[in-house]
Amino acid sequence: MTATDPRRRIPRTDHLLALVRRVQQEARDGLIAPEDVESAVLAAASARATTLRPVLNATGVVVHTNLGRAPLSDAAVAALVAASRYVDVELDLATGSRSQRGVQARAALRAACPAAEDVLVVNNGAAALVLATTALAAGREVIVSRGELVEIGAGFRLPDLIASTGARLREVGTTNRTHLRDYVDAIGPDTGCILKIHPSNFRVEGFTSEVSVAELRTAAGGLPIVADLGSGLLRPDPALSDEPDATAALDAGADLVVASGDKLLGGPQAGLLLGTTAIIERLATHPLARAVRVDKLTLAALEATLAGPPAPVPQALHADPAILQARTRRIADELGLPVAAHDGRVGGGGAPGVPLPGWAIRLPETAAAALRTGDPAVLPRVHDGACLVDLRCVPESDDHRLLAALRRAVGTQ
């Protein structure tokens, strides 16, 4: 066949089989009725609804920004599909009258973090931060340490984001050291709030000091303290001991915590705001709240993530090392490839420098391109002149697909 031969467009057998298997699984999960399986296969085959391609994440990086951060749990996917129809997102079915949007997801979030008096969900973490600084400090000052002026990726800088709200940044301290007196000296009649940003994607080591939320509380008086945690841990995780969590920040005296839904929480893209009743009320009734309103799909997926069994992100973070090693060996042995110790990462701007010890199958570096462009697409880690395949973030149910993809990639070398 030449490159232009139209027969090249005939879908590959494994591609078609994957489609049949997916529909069968959806039927097993109760998403479609057993008698609808055939028509669902035909519908799926005729409509390639999106050009986004599913990727097996073999990098060992759990929250991989370029792969869309957190993969959703089966429960969240099912909730999302159900919510794509008409749902009671703003309706009380008992009375037939209008209800508060997303009460179900908000209740689930409050239940998961009882330290918060009230909560609000918006589109993403950046939107949550913009809403908070606009409502609390537009036209006034936001006091923030110079050690916390973070660029979060793709050139986006939190100080620029805050300045865009009309709040003025009042920088205090230095890159490596900020003291309580720096904050105290800056507090004045123009202060709107004090912002504490978790520098989630880098670490300053050596001669450093920062001021904790608890210390800030002693000096802030009635001024609101906002803690931007980034990661979205609601409670402490022993595996990530340095990672701040919403419960601890609120218990230490923060009035408001800002976090993402699709980082360590493992849910859909969302901005979580957890805080006092008074501040959440201020944010919820601000006109900007409507512009960053979250959609019903996100609310459904978030509620299911919070209420359901552990999502893929926490599962991958706490993967059993013995099982990971056994899976890695099984696939490597099938192909006669070596296995090496390999540290995974939390990723997504969380827990920088914290290794997640595991293993990787070692291939020649040139195998990486074949893996990326194969079907299924596999993203390995290219490092030290090798192509490393780490199974931490590959669901065990996909091991046979990964093996097939590796076999093809090795065969094309």
Q: Kindly list the residues in this chain that would bind ligand PLP in the complex (CB under 6 A).
A: 124-126, 129, 150, 152, 158, 197-198, 200, 228, 230, 260, 271, 349
Choice between 11 and 202, CB closer to ligand PLP: 202
Specify whether the CB–CB gap between 246 and 115 falls below 8 A: yes
Choice between 125 and 380, CB closer to ligand PLP: 125
Cβ 382 to ligand PLP shortest distance, Å: 25
DSSP reduced 3-state for 314: helix
Cβ 130 to ligand PLP shortest distance, Å: 9
Cα separations in angstroms, 273 against 125, 259, 277 = 9, 7, 11
Asked, as a colleague might, if the bond just before 310 is cis with ω within 30 of 0, I would say no
Cβ 66 to ligand PLP shortest distance, Å: 13
Choice between 228 and 245, CB closer to ligand PLP: 228
Residues 6+ apart with CB under 8 A from 376: 18, 54, 55, 56, 398, 401, 402, 405
Choice between 124 and 305, CB closer to ligand PLP: 124
The first and second tokens of residue 19, run together, are 């489609």
Choice between 349 and 380, CB closer to ligand PLP: 349
Cβ 404 to ligand PLP shortest distance, Å: 34
Cβ 282 to ligand PLP shortest distance, Å: 20
Q: Distance between CA 8 and CA 6 in Å, rounded?
A: 5
Choice between 60 and 230, CB closer to ligand PLP: 230
Cα separations in angstroms, 285 against 98, 174, 247, 288, 334 = 17, 36, 24, 8, 59
* For the chain, counts of helices (H) and of strands (E): 16, 17
Amino acid at 50: T
Cβ 220 to ligand PLP shortest distance, Å: 20
